[in-house]
Amino acid sequence: MSDQPAPGVAVHLGANKYGKAENRLVRITRDTTRHEIEDLSITSQLRGEALAGSFLTGDNSRIVATDTQKNTVFALAKTHGVGSPERFLTILSQHFTDSFDWIEGGLWQAEQYTWERILVDGSGHDHSFVRTGGGTRLASVQVVDGATHVTGGVKDLVVLKSTGSEFRGYPKTAFTTLPETSDRIMATSVTARWRYLPDAVAAGVDYNAVFADVTRVLLEQFAVVHSLALQQTLFEMGRAAIETRPELAEIRFAMPNKHHFVYDLARFGLDNPGEVFIADDRPYGLIEGTVVRDGVAGAPDAWRDVPSFV
Amino acid sequence: MSDQPAPGVAVHLGANKYGKAENRLVRITRDTTRHEIEDLSITSQLRGEALAGSFLTGDNSRIVATDTQKNTVFALAKTHGVGSPERFLTILSQHFTDSFDWIEGGLWQAEQYTWERILVDGSGHDHSFVRTGGGTRLASVQVVDGATHVTGGVKDLVVLKSTGSEFRGYPKTAFTTLPETSDRIMATSVTARWRYLPDAVAAGVDYNAVFADVTRVLLEQFAVVHSLALQQTLFEMGRAAIETRPELAEIRFAMPNKHHFVYDLARFGLDNPGEVFIADDRPYGLIEGTVVRDGVAGAPDAWRDVPSFV
Amino acid sequence: MSDQPAPGVAVHLGANKYGKAENRLVRITRDTTRHEIEDLSITSQLRGEALAGSFLTGDNSRIVATDTQKNTVFALAKTHGVGSPERFLTILSQHFTDSFDWIEGGLWQAEQYTWERILVDGSGHDHSFVRTGGGTRLASVQVVDGATHVTGGVKDLVVLKSTGSEFRGYPKTAFTTLPETSDRIMATSVTARWRYLPDAVAAGVDYNAVFADVTRVLLEQFAVVHSLALQQTLFEMGRAAIETRPELAEIRFAMPNKHHFVYDLARFGLDNPGEVFIADDRPYGLIEGTVVRDGVAGAPDAWRDVPSFV
Amino acid sequence: MSDQPAPGVAVHLGANKYGKAENRLVRITRDTTRHEIEDLSITSQLRGEALAGSFLTGDNSRIVATDTQKNTVFALAKTHGVGSPERFLTILSQHFTDSFDWIEGGLWQAEQYTWERILVDGSGHDHSFVRTGGGTRLASVQVVDGATHVTGGVKDLVVLKSTGSEFRGYPKTAFTTLPETSDRIMATSVTARWRYLPDAVAAGVDYNAVFADVTRVLLEQFAVVHSLALQQTLFEMGRAAIETRPELAEIRFAMPNKHHFVYDLARFGLDNPGEVFIADDRPYGLIEGTVVRDGVAGAPDAWRDVPSFV
């Protein structure tokens, strides 16, 4: 090594985890001729004091190889099915913590992609599907100190309203040039992650029903709230989600303000009453917030190493 | 300049064009409280002998600035509306070739993104929308030697069938290891570009209706054709498109074969009869082909500088 | 709103922040004919109890508009220069917390892109530059409860060694199929974030010198450590960084194991002693860990909303 | 099929090809302890009249499976080595057209990624490497009607000059608002593809030396030309490349004008003499042009299905 270590410098291993990321699992249920498809990207990562040897000395005797984690994902998809990403991640978490006494916990994450049946003569085909938009489903299961935390979520849910959005009343500072507006386009790409109440998880949750309800009310609120700020819309979306589903403890949002600027056509003698816009890429506003059910205890472990907002 | 030119070396300007790319136009129609949205990325590029001066000597006296082209896109979106990408690109092409006698032609291209109304209590909202998947619409208008060529298209139309696909009977060469299969997943992301017959363009085409019909029959064919090869599926999709719409001269496809491999679970004592797959990214098969209506004259100018297949 | 709120459901606002993301700042220093370039993407986000009104009622009276934050970035780049991303983010943080008494803190983040002078006749040109690889520089400044936390970092530092890497001795479980190897390609894309000791920040840090030293020793360690596990390489890289620069409190890494598989050529009667590999995209190993200087107090606030590992 | 075919509609197969795309080949040469690395993405696609059966009837009896093409890429990398992308693609093209008499031609394309040795104590390490920027190398070999065409190239070569660029003298039209400038930032990401003269290919070309020379003079010209238009810079870059290397027939460029706008600081009482810029993403100028050696015959077959400019 080319650098002389400073005398007396000593270091230790801090937070860590390891595993296999983005296992692209496609699970076909073909019990009948009418197939079902589940399409996910699954990341499995393990934690445990006993794993330190791999970092400190290259001792792999407790390292459940990332390749083994990958094989496990696909094998358990066969033996247990998927059902919902939250359910399948829970099965994975139980498998690893039960099978290896030195695996103390970990983080399992999923994205799920949505497919619809292709319409043929107006009916959904038995085994042919088309990928749809409308957002990618998210889930995570985290095991820390014997507790299991479950989140659901959605990302890339892109929405726009062409009116019903204002932005006024902000401080006019030395560097403020933005004119106030009582009618603008508001557009965002919603990332939301909701944490399930531990009691609800223990009692059993219909995760697919919750996902459907939450995404539905998020869209509805975005539509019906007359917006004074993207912050306000965010809060009303979160409030409605928690009101709708008693299983939810809290919901986090990251909502970029995807700017659409009214194009200045007055230079060409044309008026432009909110008809012609240029969509801009960067920079963008970035509004992040959490809505929490009153009386619910916080759970920082649930969010450990889960992307903070986005 | 640091390099001594070789004596007697002479060069000239070959094919060229220039313009403004990816103008992100959002056009709201708000004549009533029920708004309509059109969301596009538009590229405008011009050609003409008189433009050579800019390349050869930096003489910009005939260069319609790319910033001017951008302004024009947004101004004409106000004065003419969009209607369909093919219609709007045609308006742009006419504007530039009519306004500047030294502009001999050019290539105008568009992508269009699809939005649906957000459902509130089961009804589509007046002015709130959600981006959908199911592919991005494509269009191009090319003017060469006084002729105008129009194409429509779609990309990122991702489809999968979980059975009804075989691949057998191929040569077994020194480097062949692939086993034959009579039942596999077939998945692809369709890029298709169809050229309109000049007579149809002259008579007037309902471009939106054609787009809807063509994408519908592409999906239907993908679903119903029992596939012996992705090539065969491609051809049947093209044949159906041309049969369905008399306005089409030809249709080009680029269809990656997005491999889904049956995960080998026999190593764990599990059978896997087409239930658990791993989706792979790269490499992928890449099948490209054109289906042409009999008796139609070729039009290489229509495809000049349009992405060959993808 | 379409959903009847459950009686008695009450919610409150949790963690939040807001601002302008990815301001693409290019700062040219042109005091002489030999120009300097600094090229960054800067994100500014603010926090404060007084901002809750915007979320709760759409009261923007304390919202320093994200557009104002953007203007501030560019104005302060003029008046103060950049110097280093850590320095410039600190200036931004001080501006916002000093100028607005209700702004209690925030998170300021930067990416910086590297340019080299173009060589002409062997000498670097005065004002012409080419973008280089070798990683993107990262920095963050976080202000929480009156304390300022500073991190530096790098991402997309892609490295590979073609020998000197083993992976053996791991448990052979029911789902283990990976063969042991004493000679493999090891490749990764390093993301590292190091936290500066508060005392060092207070005393003044030469951030550019630290960045140069840390990235140099990270590369050196990757090269010279004979690797028994990617975990071990990670730890040795972190240890060397902390030994080299006394300003560092800790360093976090996210290191994907970018798999390169020996292509099976035996099927064709060819041996392949580590010569021909196929690089795979997904899934990939994902090893994350932290190396901490002994005796240093933890600082979770420093990492609030900073991407956990990646 | 759900759509009634129009009576008398007949179609035929037009242009097509098929193969395996983006084979990620990493070739290590380890004859000594000082290893060499070659890292490429290779696409192989075949053409031939006999392949029509696969499209028309699903007859695969002449389909050299894309999986076989993949195996061939890796096997020939072992038996022949890479050397240069142009050389290796030529070997592939000869293998396929020689081995299968019904394969009439095809298109083979490569990207090559650049690695440098990691410096340890000032010396390049024997077997540890870091990915560098400065552009991705491109190559193609096309076989049509018995003729072989070879191109080299580069993409993602990102350059910027902070002065020495003007844009003036363009027409002021109804939609022109751009002010003239005699001093702006000019930035672009160069894509260049050069075609080798068939005689040079036949005589044998040192492709690596040409690549080094051409990229060097492209950078030099970008630096030293005082630019009146990006078009002019493009032409001078091409002229220099052809003057420098007698093997070149022509060179094509796609050069986006990556806009950097002077940030308006006058609103805050600050001047900004070309110091603080905001880099914009979209839209961008897009300048494309070809420089051709005088007296050289055109070769449209060389460019068949090669990306037109970009």
* B197 and B89 assigned to the same domain: no
Residue B176: list chain D partners with CB under 8 A.
65, 67-68, 71
Indicate the pLDDT class of residue B6, thresholds 50, 70 and 90. low
* C108 and C251 assigned to the same domain: no
Indicate the pLDDT class of residue B308, thresholds 50, 70 and 90. confident
Residue D263: list chain C partners with CB under 8 A.
74, 78
Mean pLDDT of D90-109: 98
Catalytic residue among D35, D66, D155, D290: D66
Mean pLDDT of chain A: 96
Mean pLDDT of A157-168: 98
CA nearest to C280 within chain D: D24
Shortest Cα distance, chain B CAs vs residue A97, angstroms: 20
d(CA B258, CA B279): 8
Is residue A84 less than 8 Å (CB to CB) from chain C? no
- Identity of the residue in D3, D229, D243 whose CB atom sits nearest the CB atom of B217: D3
Whether D139 shows a pLDDT value over 70: the answer reads yes
Contacts of residue D177, defined as CB under 8 A and 6 or more positions apart, other chains included, come to A267, B67, B68, B71
Is residue C29 less than 8 Å (CB to CB) from chain D? yes
Residue C136 corresponds to which tokens in the numbers above?
């993107």
Whether B38 and B112 have beta carbons less than 8 Å apart is answered as yes
Residue B2: list chain D partners with CB under 8 A.
217, 220, 224
Q: Catalytic site residue B66? A: yes
Q: How many helices (H) and strands (E) does chain D have?
A: 6, 12
Query: Tokens 């008189």, residue?
Result: B50
Cis preceding linkage at C307, omega within 30? no
Residue type, C144: V
Residue D108 region by backbone torsions, left for phi larger than 0, else alpha for psi between -120 and 50, else beta: beta
Is residue B30 less than 8 Å (CB to CB) from chain A? yes
Number of other residues whose CB lies within 10 A of the CB of residue D275: 21
Shortest Cα distance, chain D CAs vs residue A27, angstroms: 23
Instruction: Output the pLDDT for position A308.
Output: 78
Answer positive or negative: Cα dihedral of D25, D30, D31, D35.
positive
- Is residue C1 domain-resident? no
Shortest Cα distance, chain C CAs vs residue A250, angstroms: 9
Distance between first and last Cα of chain D: 39
Residue A118: list chain D partners with CB under 8 A.
none
Instruction: Output the pLDDT for position D1.
Output: 35
Number of other residues whose CB lies within 10 A of the CB of residue D10: 12
Number of structural domains in chain B:
2
Residue A281: list chain D partners with CB under 8 A.
281-282
pLDDT per position as a tens digit, A241-288? 999 999 999 999 999 999 999 999 999 999 999 999 999 999 999 999
Beta C186-196 vs A284-293: how paired, if at all? unpaired
DSSP alpha helices (H): ranges in chain C?
A: 52-57, 66-80, 85-99, 198-203, 207-224, 230-244
Distance between first and last Cα of chain A: 39
- Is residue B7 domain-resident? no
Indicate the pLDDT class of residue A7, thresholds 50, 70 and 90. low
Residue B163: list chain A partners with CB under 8 A.
30, 35, 127
Residues 54-83 of C with CB under 8 A from A: 54-68, 70-72, 75
Residue D39 corresponds to which tokens in the numbers above?
């890292």
d(CA B88, CA B77): 8
Closest alpha carbon to D45 in D67, D17, D24: D17
- Domain CATH for B77: 3.10.270.10
Q: Catalytic site residue C78? A: no
Tell me which of B99, B132, B165 is where a domain ends. B132
* B150 and B251 assigned to the same domain: yes
Chains in contact with D via at least 3 Cβ–Cβ pairs below 8 Å: A, B, C
Residue D82: list chain C partners with CB under 8 A.
none
Instruction: Output the pLDDT for position A6.
Output: 54
In whole angstroms, how far apart are CA C256 and each of B166, C166, C287, D102, D215? 36, 16, 6, 44, 32
Tell me which of B132, B164, B194 is where a domain ends. B132
Mean pLDDT of A171-180: 98
- Identity of the residue in D131, D223, D278 whose CB atom sits nearest the CB atom of C120: D223
Q: What are phi and psi of C3, to 5 degrees?
A: -105, 130
Is residue C14 less than 8 Å (CB to CB) from chain B? no
Q: Best mutation site among B9, B42, B61, B170 for testing chain D: the one with the most D CBs within 10 Å? A: B170
Whether C253 and C238 have beta carbons less than 8 Å apart is answered as yes
Whether B284 and B257 have beta carbons less than 8 Å apart is answered as yes
Mean pLDDT of A137-145: 98
Is residue C33 less than 8 Å (CB to CB) from chain A? no
d(CA D109, CA D21): 9
Mean pLDDT of B228-237: 98
* D90 and D166 assigned to the same domain: no
Distance between first and last Cα of chain B: 39
pLDDT per position as a tens digit, A30-61? 999 999 999 999 999 999 999 999 999 999 99
Chains in contact with B via at least 3 Cβ–Cβ pairs below 8 Å: A, C, D
Crossing angle for the helix pair A85-99 and A66-80, to the nearest 10 degrees: 120
**Which contiguous run of DSSP H or E holds residue D244?**
helix D230-244
Q: If 0-12 CB within 10 Å is exposed, 13-18 middle and 19+ buried, where does residue B145 land? A: exposed
Q: What ipTM describes this predicted complex?
A: 0.96
With CB atoms and an 8 Å threshold, state whether B268 touches C121. no
Instruction: Output the pLDDT for position B309.
Output: 74
Q: Domain span at residue D252?
A: 157-310
Provide the residue-wise pLDDT of chain C in tens; the chain has 310 residues.
334 545 668 999 999 999 999 999 999 999 999 999 999 999 999 999 999 999 999 999 999 999 999 999 999 999 999 999 999 999 999 999 999 999 999 999 999 999 999 999 999 999 999 999 889 999 999 999 999 999 999 999 999 999 999 999 999 999 999 999 999 999 999 999 999 999 999 999 999 999 999 999 999 999 999 999 999 999 999 999 999 999 999 999 999 999 999 999 999 999 999 999 999 999 999 999 999 999 999 999 999 999 877 6
* B99 and B243 assigned to the same domain: no
* C236 and C99 assigned to the same domain: no
- Identity of the residue in A2, A120, A282 whose CB atom sits nearest the CB atom of D281: A282
More confident residue, A7 or D162: D162
Beta B105-113 vs B136-144: how paired, if at all? antiparallel
With CB atoms and an 8 Å threshold, state whether A268 touches D121. no
Whether C30 and A135 have beta carbons less than 8 Å apart is answered as no
Shortest Cα distance, chain D CAs vs residue A66, angstroms: 22
Residue C175: list chain A partners with CB under 8 A.
68, 71-72, 75
Q: Catalytic site residue C259? A: yes
Whether D253 and D290 have beta carbons less than 8 Å apart is answered as yes
Is residue B3 less than 8 Å (CB to CB) from chain C? no
**DSSP symbol at C267:** G
d(CA B99, CA B75): 14
pLDDT per position as a tens digit, B275-289? 999 999 999 999 999
* D304 and D163 assigned to the same domain: yes
Beta strands per DSSP E along chain A: 11-29, 36-47, 105-113, 115-120, 123-131, 136-144, 147-161, 186-196, 248-257, 260-262, 276-279, 284-293
* D96 and D243 assigned to the same domain: no
Number of other residues whose CB lies within 10 A of the CB of residue B153: 29
Crossing angle for the helix pair D207-224 and D85-99, to the nearest 10 degrees: 140
* C86 and C215 assigned to the same domain: no
**Which contiguous run of DSSP H or E holds residue B211?**
helix B207-224
With CB atoms and an 8 Å threshold, state whether B232 touches D9. no
With CB atoms and an 8 Å threshold, state whether D217 touches B3. yes
pLDDT per position as a tens digit, B129-143? 999 988 999 999 999
Contacts of residue A33, defined as CB under 8 A and 6 or more positions apart, other chains included, come to A126, A127
Mean pLDDT of A214-237: 98
Tell me which of B132, B165, B188 is where a domain ends. B132
Whether A290 shows a pLDDT value over 90: the answer reads yes
pTM of this structure: 0.97
pLDDT per position as a tens digit, B26-37? 999 999 999 999
Mean pLDDT of D128-141: 96
Q: Best mutation site among B30, B78, B123, B215 for testing chain A: the one with the most A CBs within 10 Å? A: B78
Q: Which residues pair with A284 in a beta bridge?
A: C21
Beta D123-131 vs C36-47: how paired, if at all? unpaired
Shortest Cα distance, chain A CAs vs residue B83, angstroms: 14
| A136 SS3 class | strand
- Is residue D6 domain-resident? no
- Is residue B276 domain-resident? yes
In whole angstroms, how far apart are CA B27 and each of A265, B36, B84, B113, C227? 13, 8, 12, 12, 57
Cis preceding linkage at A283, omega within 30? yes
**Three-state secondary structure readout of B107-152:** EEEEEEECEEEEEECCEEEEEEEEECCCCEEEEEEEEECCEEEEEE
Instruction: Output the pLDDT for position B15.
Output: 97
Instruction: Output the pLDDT for position C133.
Output: 86
* D166 and D213 assigned to the same domain: yes
Closest alpha carbon to C142 in C86, C80, C63: C86
Shortest Cα distance, chain B CAs vs residue A31, angstroms: 10
Whether D143 shows a pLDDT value over 70: the answer reads yes
Is residue C279 less than 8 Å (CB to CB) from chain A? no
Q: If 0-12 CB within 10 Å is exposed, 13-18 middle and 19+ buried, where does residue A98 land? A: exposed
- Is residue D140 domain-resident? no
Residue D3: list chain B partners with CB under 8 A.
217, 220, 240, 243-244
* B186 and B304 assigned to the same domain: yes
Instruction: Output the pLDDT for position B133.
Output: 86
- Is residue D27 domain-resident? yes
Residue A83 region by backbone torsions, left for phi larger than 0, else alpha for psi between -120 and 50, else beta: left
Is residue C23 less than 8 Å (CB to CB) from chain D? yes
d(CA C101, CA C94): 11
Distance between first and last Cα of chain C: 39
Shortest Cα distance, chain C CAs vs residue A33, angstroms: 31
* C103 and C207 assigned to the same domain: no
Residue type, D267: R
Closest alpha carbon to B237 in B257, B213, B206, B207: B213
d(CA B204, CA A113): 39
- Is residue A35 domain-resident? yes
Whether B26 and B46 have beta carbons less than 8 Å apart is answered as no
Instruction: Output the pLDDT for position D6.
Output: 54
| B64 SS3 class | coil
Residue type, B251: I
Whether A2 shows a pLDDT value over 50: the answer reads no
Whether A162 shows a pLDDT value over 70: the answer reads yes
Q: Which residues pair with D20 in a beta bridge?
A: B285, D44
d(CA B237, CA B193): 12
Query: Tokens 């506003």, residue?
Result: A285
Number of other residues whose CB lies within 10 A of the CB of residue D78: 17
Percent of chain B whose pLDDT exceeds 70: 97
- Is residue C12 domain-resident? no
Query: Tokens 């590369």, residue?
Result: C219
**Chain centroid offset of residue C41 CA:** 12
- Identity of the residue in D75, D160, D275 whose CB atom sits nearest the CB atom of C268: D75
Residue B117 corresponds to which tokens in the numbers above?
């109304």
CA nearest to C177 within chain B: B267
